[in-house]
Amino acid sequence: MPKRIYIESFDTGPGGWCGWTSNIEGPKALDVRDGVAISRSPWWIDYNHAPPGAGYLHILFALNTRGGDAYSELYLERAGLNRFIEGEYPTDFTEARLTFRLKGELEPRGANLVMLVQGSSGKIVSGWVLVGRPLTVTGDWSEQSVAAAPDPKLWTCLRSRHDRTRTYGELDLATVLSHVNANIVLILFPLEVAPMGPIAGDLHKLRAGKDYPVWQGRLPEGYVMLDEVRIDFAGD
């Protein structure tokens, strides 16, 4: 019978969880100490979904659910052995209940800590953000649960910036939830990206933080500590 409960306590390392440095540099090692994974600002501005996509985001905690990348030298070095993949947990997240034990100090500046799920079909990766069920970061530990209900009113599809349409796009939410074969991610979304001074060209066709500097004071700042992740999969 397939396993129905995944638990990551970080007691023996990151277990495949990581942050993200950039499109070029890839995964970023989390600070894992005393059974807690910590993500700190400043975070990379992910511009892959800039308008006409849904917008900009920060990646705090990410876990590959399938795929060879998780076994690359780079991932193993920065994220450790992926216990989700090793444990052969399901990729059907439909109605799954995800519980996060977390705390921290965060200046969100208009962003919410929310869950992103990504699945692929062919060469297209489709990401959906559970904007209707944000998590709250406080100075005390709390356990917060969200359900991956296939209700489009609760989700926003990230879609793609103008030049990444061969990689990112929109697949049906139910299809993605039934086979989350890319990753699950905790992100800060949306971000207010404001150029520091005049720029030459279209704001969203350029790459925020790379092609032009931005006002860091308008972006989220702080840290988030993740003590445990539990996923209760639906099914018989």
Quick one: pLDDT at residue 88? Answer: 94
Query: What global pTM score does this model have?
Result: 0.97
Single-letter amino acid, residue 177: L
pLDDT at 1: 53
**Structure letter (DSSP) for residue 44:** P
- Hey, what are 204's tokens? 């969203």
Domains of the chain, by residue range, sit at 5-227
Look up residue 20 and give its two tokens.
């993200």
The burial class, CB within 10 Å (0-12 / 13-18 / 19+), for 75 is buried
Exposure string over 159-171, b if 16+ CB within 10 A, otherwise e: bbbeebeeebbbb
- 183 burial level (CB within 10 Å; 0-12, 13-18, 19+): buried
So what's the pLDDT on residue 236?
56
pLDDT at 235: 74
Three-state DSSP class for residue 10: coil
Ranges of the chain with pLDDT below 70:
1-2, 236
- Output the furthest CA–CA distance in the chain (Å, rounded): 59
